[in-house]
Every structure is written in structure tokens, then in C-alpha cells.
């Protein structure tokens, strides 16, 4: 009997169905219709060369390029038990609030607050390509412009609020809303700069200032229940309503929901392969798995997590029927 070959569709659906183990051996043991050796999975993972650009084919039908938000942020795929290679390296993780061995992922998400559509991503591998996360961010924005996006706002946190990034967004005739670090310099009197944390901002005030090395922006301050202060800036000088300003800014959290869903439903962090090419293929397949979940969520209103659980429920029901005839 001919051995079954691995494919993107088979591997994608395996990522959705599996609840804990995502190894080549685990897939070989459950492959349908014909026998499969785990080497078939390993060879497919290591021999495939999918590009992040290919996810646009999946994303395009679900976005409205003349509306919505483009949101960018990075995430670390925890690989603390893996060997370091071209992808796995020691880096800071917000989840653990410290350094962890992992794979850096820079994502660009389109959302209208209803849909979660990843339109581009980059793998952080500075030892290989010499690019930092800001380089990847700029590259994705340029590609989004080529794809004729015209979002309401580009939303980023303070890491991507560097002057060079903000100038790029402005050059593309887009508006941004970004977080600013508390020590970013602003001026209300020409030639006199203060840290934004020292700028007088009344409660719910939106104020125009000159951001050092950039130009005029509107800024405001928000205070969380725990007392943490957040400073926001936008180059949309018509956005003078505090409620609208902060309302748009809050949509940045959609990318955190996306990261959580991607990690918890697709096994994107749990590939046991050691080669960096296998990890790249696994990550691409995880994005394909997420698209399948998101399509079903949009069409049927079933959450990503419920879809994942429903698969295991079928298995449990079949087992109970078998064990209790």
C-alpha cells in the first residue's frame, strides 16, 4: 500500500484537531485513509517554502481596504525547551515579563472591530537577515500601501512609535495613533522641550504639541484603574474629541486578542522540529488554520475556542458510544 503524503491542508487541519501534541509522529498516528510514516511529515515541513506573502490570498476576501484599522505588534512564540537556531533566540516576552527562548513574530492585522484578519507577518531573525522589528514593520506598511490599503488609522504601541516609523506612515498619507513613552520630548513653546509626562494635560484633554523631530500632533493621557498612565499621539489634528481619540486607540487591543487566539487554537508555539525551515512551515500552516477558524466565526458566529472544543467533543462522544454500547 502506498504511504500517504503530507500536505498543507492535512497539516492545517491536524493543528486544529489536535488538543496538545503537534509532532510529526502524532500526525502520522492519526492520518486518515492510508498509512503515513512520520518522516513524510518531517520531510514536508523541512522541504516546503511558503512565504508570508501567501497569506494575502486568504486575507483579501475578508478586508475592506478603504476602512478599518491596520494594527501591528510583535509576539514571542515560547520555545524555551528548543535549541537556539536561526529563529529561536533569547528575547523579551511580555507574557512572562522577562527573557525567554522563543521565535519573534511581527504581525500586521486588519480589523474593523468585528473581524480579525492577519494580512502580513515577519519572522524576527536578525542573525540571518540583519533586520530589526522596525525594519519588518516598515516593510509590511509599504506592502500594505502597494495593496491599496487606506485604513482609518494605523495603531501601534510605543515600541513602533519611533520617528522614522511615524514619518513613513505620514508619507503614505495615512493617520496613526500610537502610544508614546513617558520620556518622549514635546514642545508647546518653540525650542523648549519637556518630557510628555511633564506636560500639563488636564483630565480628558486633547492638546496640540510639537513632537520632537516629527511635527504637530495631538496628544492625550489616559489613566487606568490601577493608576497606570498612557500617553497617546496622533497626526490627525481633527481628532479633538477625547472619546473618539481613545475609542480609536482602544482598537489596538484587537491584536492582543488575535495573538491569544492564534497561540491557543493552532499550536503555533508547539512545533517540536529542530530545523528553522520546519518551524517556518509550521508557523505558516498555523496562520492557515487560524484563517479557517476565522472564516467559520464570521459565517456562523462560533468562537475560535468553541470550534476547537467541538472537535474533541466528537471524539469523546464516539469513545463513550464505543465503551458503553
Domain with 303, as residue range(s), is 8-48+272-323
What local confidence, expressed as pLDDT, does residue 200 receive? 92
Q: Which carries the bigger pLDDT value, residue 176 or residue 274? A: 176
265 located within any domain: no
- Joined together, the cell numbers standing for residue 306 give 468553541
Domain boundary among 256, 290, 313: 256
Same domain? For 137 and 277 the reply is no
161/321 Cα distance (integer angstroms): 57
What local confidence, expressed as pLDDT, does residue 241 receive? 97
Q: Which carries the bigger pLDDT value, residue 2 or residue 168? A: 168
pLDDT tier at 84 (50, 70, 90 boundaries)? low
152/176 Cα distance (integer angstroms): 8
Lowest mean pLDDT among 31-35, 138-142, 267-271: 31-35
**Residue with the three cell numbers 480579525:** 116
Lowest mean pLDDT among 42-51, 243-252, 313-322: 313-322
pLDDT greater than 70 at residue 178? yes
Most confident of 3-17, 18-32, 114-128: 114-128
What local confidence, expressed as pLDDT, does residue 3 receive? 64
What local confidence, expressed as pLDDT, does residue 142 receive? 98
207 located within any domain: yes
What local confidence, expressed as pLDDT, does residue 206 receive? 97
pLDDT greater than 70 at residue 82? yes
pLDDT greater than 70 at residue 33? no
Same domain? For 162 and 14 the reply is no
Same domain? For 73 and 133 the reply is yes
pLDDT tier at 191 (50, 70, 90 boundaries)? confident
- State the average pLDDT for the chain: 92
Domain count, the chain: 2
pLDDT greater than 90 at residue 98? no
pLDDT in tens, 133-175: 999 999 999 999 999 999 999 999 999 999 999 999 999 999 9
261 located within any domain: no
Domain boundary among 256, 284, 306: 256
Q: What is the mean pLDDT of residues 89-98?
A: 79
Same domain? For 188 and 86 the reply is yes
Q: What is the mean pLDDT of residues 5-16?
A: 94
What local confidence, expressed as pLDDT, does residue 1 receive? 44
What local confidence, expressed as pLDDT, does residue 90 receive? 85
Same domain? For 67 and 103 the reply is yes
Q: How many CB atoms lie within 10 A of CB 27?
A: 25
Same domain? For 169 and 90 the reply is yes
Same domain? For 191 and 240 the reply is yes
**Residue with the three cell numbers 489613566:** 223
Q: How many CB atoms lie within 10 A of CB 223?
A: 10
pLDDT greater than 60 at residue 185? yes
Amino acid at each position: 500500500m502506498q504511504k500517504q503524503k503530507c500536505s498543507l491542508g492535512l497539516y492545517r487541519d491536524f493543528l486544529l484537531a489536535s488538543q496538545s501534541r503537534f509532532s510529526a509522529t502524532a500526525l502520522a498516528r492519526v492520518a486518515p485513509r492510508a498509512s503515513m510514516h512520520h518522516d513524510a511529515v518531517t520531510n514536508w515541513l523541512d522541504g516546503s517554502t511558503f512565504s508570508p506573502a501567501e497569506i494575502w490570498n486568504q486575507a483579501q476576501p475578508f478586508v475592506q481596504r478603504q476602512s478599518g484599522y491596520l494594527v501591528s505588534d510583535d509576539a514571542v512564540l515560547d520555545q524555551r525547551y528548543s535549541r537556539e537556531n536561526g529563529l529561536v533566540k533569547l528575547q523579551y516576552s511580555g507574557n512572562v515579563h522577562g527573557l525567554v527562548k522563543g521565535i519573534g513574530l511581527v504581525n500586521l492585522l486588519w480589523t474593523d472591530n468585528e473581524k480579525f484578519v492577519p494580512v502580513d507577518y515577519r519572522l524576527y531573525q536578525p542573525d540571518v537577515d540583519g533586520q530589526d522589528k522596525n525594519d519588518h514593520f516598515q516593510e509590511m506598511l509599504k506592502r500594505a500601501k502597494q495593496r491599496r490599503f487606506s485604513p482609518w488609522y494605523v495603531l501601534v504601541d510605543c515600541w513602533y512609535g519611533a520617528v522614522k516609523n511615524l514619518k513613513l506612515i505620514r508619507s503614505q498619507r495615512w493617520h496613526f495613533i500610537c502610544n508614546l513613552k513617558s520620556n518622549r520630548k514635546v514642545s508647546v513653546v518653540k525650542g523648549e522641550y519637556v518630557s510628555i509626562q511633564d506636560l500639563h494635560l488636564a483630565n480628558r484633554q486633547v492638546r496640540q504639541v510639537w513632537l520632537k523631530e516629527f511635527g504637530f500632533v495631538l496628544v492625550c493621557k489616559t489613566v487606568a484603574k490601577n493608576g497606570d498612565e498612557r500617553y497617546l499621539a496622533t497626526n490627525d489634528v481633527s481628532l479633538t474629541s477625547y472619546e473618539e481619540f481613545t475609542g480609536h486607540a482602544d482598537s489596538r487591543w484587537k491584536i492582543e486578542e488575535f495573538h491569544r487566539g492564534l497561540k491557543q487554537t493552532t499550536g503555533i508555539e508547539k512545533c517540536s522540529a529542530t530545523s528553522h525551515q520546519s518551524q517556518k512551515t509550521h508557523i505558516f500552516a498555523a496562520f492557515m488554520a487560524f484563517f479557517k477558524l476565522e472564516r467559520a466565526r464570521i459565517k456562523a458566529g462560533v468562537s475560535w475556542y468553541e470550534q476547537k472544543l467541538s472537535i474533541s467533543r466528537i471524539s469523546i462522544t464516539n469513545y463513550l458510544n464505543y465503551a458503553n454500547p
